[in-house]
Structures are given as C-alpha cells and as structure tokens.
Structure 1
C-alpha cells in the first residue's frame, strides 16, 4: 500500500524558476534548506530538468539564512542587491568580477 501522502500528489508541478508545468516524474525536487532527504512534514518545490541543469550545484552554506536576513523578495531589487553585496563583502571579502 502506498503511503498516505503519495495518494494526493499531482501529476504535474510548476517549476519554481521558469514557471513551466512539467510532469512530476521528470521534475527535480528542490529543498531550499538543502536537506531533501529528511522528508518529515516537508513540502518540496520543483525544478524542470532544464532549470535544474542550469542550477549552480555548489554548496550554499549560509545562503538561505542570509537571504531571509536581507528580506529577499520583500525589498526592491536594487536595494536588495546593494545590501546583498555589502553583506557578502563584509562576511567573505570583496566580490571579484570575472572578465
């Protein structure tokens, strides 16, 4: 018998990056806390295969906490980016642009 929660899964999900609807079976689960293996009381977001491939797969330690602290999505884009760059430089050193 399937677990209770699997009975109500939708056949399609929306990619959080591009907004396309894709079949759940081809989508990639995304857990913004970086712990997709702990499934207790968790709802996942999803990425389509193309957006998942384009995603940076480097560790993102402290990133989510920094985004919450800087109120990502609540500030104007320019204000947020200025604050983000200042916080990154303060914590990790000067940001160098690649040429």
Structure 2
C-alpha cells in the first residue's frame, strides 16, 4: 500500500495564495500536468479553494502554442489577443465546447 508522500511534512504552502495549510487540506500540483508519474518529482501544492478556482482543461499543447506566438516578448494585451485567436482557431471557442458536453 502507498504511504504518505512527504512523511514528516505536515503543512504545505499554497503556491497561489501563500497560505500554510495541512497537507491533507491541500492538492498536489504538477506543472507538467502528469501527477501520476512521480519519479524524481517534488510537487507543489494548492489549498482546496485555489485548486477549485483552477481551469481544469487539458493543456497538452500549451508550451508549443506559447513558443509559437513568442510568449514573453510582446505586451500582455497583444499576447492575449494572439493567444485567444490561435486557441479559438485550432480548438473552437470555449462556449462551443461547453455546449457539446
């Protein structure tokens, strides 16, 4: 059976809001989106409130999209405009996907 992942670590800090919460009151966050592959990883944590506020949409191609539109080298408004247009072009609008559910 699996034991505690971080034995001895009873509190963790939420990476979103900075709150210190008990490990049992937090959710693991893996920036690579694969929390099941645990080899060699140290996980960050989110309190339950911040975890609920996250967008839980797939992000498999996110890094490629960011590289394609040169994220970080344009003003925020320009970047967001390009990003939103590219995502909608490739995947459709969020409202279209919500109607499909």
TM class by shorter-chain length? 0.5 to 0.7
SS of residue paired to 1:47:
strand
Q: CA deviation at 1:69?
A: 5.0
User: 1:47-85: per-residue Cα shift (whole Å, max 9, x none)?
Assistant: 10111122233433323543465565x354323312211
- Name the CA distance, whole Å, in 2 between partners of 1:41 and 1:87: 34
Specify which structure has the higher proportion of helix. 2
Contact persistence 1:33–1:64 (CA under 8 A): no
Q: CA deviation at 1:96?
A: 5.6
TM-score by length of 2: 0.62
Q: Which runs of 5+ in 1 are unaligned?
A: none
TM-score by length of 1: 0.63
Q: Which runs of 5+ in 2 are unaligned?
A: 97-101
Residues 50 and 44 of structure 1: is their aligned pair in 2 closer, same or farther, counting only changes over 3 Å?
same
